[in-house]
Amino acid sequence: MAIVKWLLVGAGEIANNRVAPSLAAAANSEIVAICDTRAEAAAALAKKFGVNQIYGDFEQALAESGADAVYLATPVALHVPHGLRVLESGKHLLVEKPLGLNATECQRLASAAQGSNKLAGCAYYRRHSEYYKFTKTMVENGEFGQIVGGYMNYFVYHKPDKSALNYWTVVREKAGGGLLCHLGSHILDIFIGLFDLPLSVCAQCGTLTNDWNIEDCAAIIIKLRNGALVTANFNWNSMTPVRHELEILGTRAKVSWGWPHDSEPLLKTVGHEVQKIEIQKVNNFGIPLVQDFVDAVLHNRQPLCTVAEAFKTSVLTDAIYRSAAEGREVKVIN
Ligand SMILES: NC(=O)c1ccc[n+]([C@@H]2O[C@H](COP(=O)([O-])OP(=O)(O)OC[C@H]3O[C@@H](n4cnc5c(N)ncnc54)[C@H](O)[C@@H]3O)[C@@H](O)[C@H]2O)c1
């Protein structure tokens, strides 16, 4: 069986915790080169995974590494410019989320991906979770009846020190936006996967406890294509425990999930009867994401999380920001 050879760009937090272990663990997958402008970080990660090629310059790594595919695990402002270069250089692309700073620049990457004979994916790994798959099957089978509502809440405390490596996450020019881009995008992507882009959004964003130029909280009403109203609340500014919850409500049934990194059961309620569906714990969601991408390369098919699909989350996020800025309901699709 052929092997997909990876160049990993970025040796920061996600690369160490999730990406490099996934690229190494997936079948028929091998990291051949690591690139980071912080030479010592690239060298340390390379040593951990027995990788011989270490680069400090992205263009040199692209030209010399001999990789088939590139995983971009760098700050968001680099995703689109580097992603375009990866496709131009004739390599497959897997890029961290969110896809880019805004929908305008993401459109450029989505168009390049469409015109390329290489694969382009984005790390919205929750689409691989059993919670998502179970819910998607219920939607497809019409088990909810008519979808009439739902909610998503995601609260995580985030206050990086100004000297921290990841301070870029709270700087608009480097991250595109605040918690909507960083956290919210994951759960918005789930709703897009289930119901496609919604009709419209009505949102408020605030920066309550920080001096950042991005939001640290947001509240949104999302009108799905059938008119059902879904609400979303995101906070980065409370020191209380992490909370991640999602509920989808139909005329006949509802589904609720907790935090997908744990093995909390999915709750399926039909009428008044509640069923606890046990979900197998996954320690590293990067592995199914990478395995699907590697299999897609080897079997010449599209990956589950494509750049084209990730672009939709950027479109939705932009509409949310526009609604908050203009104080009105904003159409997402015509
Ligand atoms: N999938 C998820 O759930 C998840 C979670 C956290 C972060 N992320 C995403 O992963 C990406 C990286 O986040 P992180 O938390 O690891 O950030 P980080 O700041 O810890 O790491 C980023 C790394 O990129 C390197 N870098 C910066 N410019 C570079 C360049 N020009 N060439 C090569 N390397 C360069 C930095 O030196 C750093 O090591 C972001 O897109 C972020 O949104 C995804």
- Residues 182 and 160 occupy one common structural domain: yes
**Contact in structure between 57 and 24 (CB atoms under 8 Å):** no
Q: Is the CB of 54 under 6 A from ligand 1?
A: no
Distance between CA 95 and CA 181 in Å, rounded? 14
| pLDDT score of 263 more than 80 | no
pLDDT tens readout for residues 99-119: 999 999 999 999 999 999 999
pLDDT (0 to 100) of residue 283 = 87
One-letter amino acid at 300 equals N
Q: pLDDT band at 280, cuts 50/70/90? A: confident
Mean residue pLDDT of the chain comes to 96
Atom 4 of ligand 1, residue of closest alpha carbon: 14
**What six digits make up the tokens of 165?**
């490596």
Residue 322's domain spans which residues? Answer: 130-282+314-331
Phi, psi of 319 (to 5 degrees): -65, -40
From the alpha carbon of 57, which atom of ligand 1 is closest? Answer: 32
Phi, psi of 112 (to 5 degrees): -60, -40
> What angle do the packed helices 307-326 and 103-114 form, to 10 degrees?
160
Quote the percentage of the chain above a pLDDT of 90. Answer: 95
CA of 229 to the centre of ligand 1 (A): 34
Give me the residue label for tokens 């010399």: 64
Distance between CA 144 and CA 166 in Å, rounded? 41
**Contact in structure between 285 and 21 (CB atoms under 8 Å):** no
- Residues 261 and 246 occupy one common structural domain: yes
Residue 156 covered by a domain: yes
- Residues 222 and 249 occupy one common structural domain: yes
From the alpha carbon of 95, which atom of ligand 1 is closest? Answer: 41
Distance between CA 142 and CA 121 in Å, rounded? 29
Q: Is the CB of 76 under 6 A from ligand 1?
A: yes
Residues shown for the chain: 334
Distance between CA 309 and CA 197 in Å, rounded? 10
Q: Which of 184, 155, 193, 137 is nearest to 306 (CA)?
A: 193
Q: Is the CB of 235 under 6 A from ligand 1?
A: no
Phi, psi of 64 (to 5 degrees): -110, -15
From the alpha carbon of 169, which atom of ligand 1 is closest? Answer: 43
Out of 51-65, 70-84, 196-210, 251-265, least confident range: 251-265
CA of 13 to the centre of ligand 1 (A): 7
Atom 30 of ligand 1, residue of closest alpha carbon: 37
Residue 274 covered by a domain: yes
CA of 290 to the centre of ligand 1 (A): 17
- Residues 87 and 227 occupy one common structural domain: no
Distance between CA 17 and CA 110 in Å, rounded? 28
Would you say the pTM of this structure is higher than 0.95?
A: yes
- Residues 322 and 297 occupy one common structural domain: no
Q: Which of 57, 96, 214 for mutating ligand 1's site (highest number of atoms within 8 Å of CB)?
A: 96
Q: pLDDT band at 281, cuts 50/70/90? A: confident
Mean pLDDT of 187-191: 96
**Local structure of residue 306 (DSSP, 8 states):** B
- Residues 278 and 139 occupy one common structural domain: yes
**Local structure of residue 207 (DSSP, 8 states):** -
Residue 114 covered by a domain: yes
Domain count, the chain: 2
Q: Is the CB of 189 under 6 A from ligand 1?
A: no
Atom 40 of ligand 1, residue of closest alpha carbon: 75
pLDDT tens readout for residues 45-81: 999 999 999 999 999 999 999 999 999 999 999 999 9
Q: pLDDT band at 260, cuts 50/70/90? A: low
Mean pLDDT of 298-302: 97
Atom 18 of ligand 1, residue of closest alpha carbon: 12
Q: Is the CB of 74 under 6 A from ligand 1?
A: yes
Residue 31 covered by a domain: yes
Residue 309 covered by a domain: no
**What six digits make up the tokens of 14?**
């996600």
| pLDDT score of 1 more than 70 | no
- Residues 104 and 152 occupy one common structural domain: no
pLDDT (0 to 100) of residue 317 = 98
Mean pLDDT of 133-160: 97
Domain with residue 75: its CATH number is 3.40.50.720
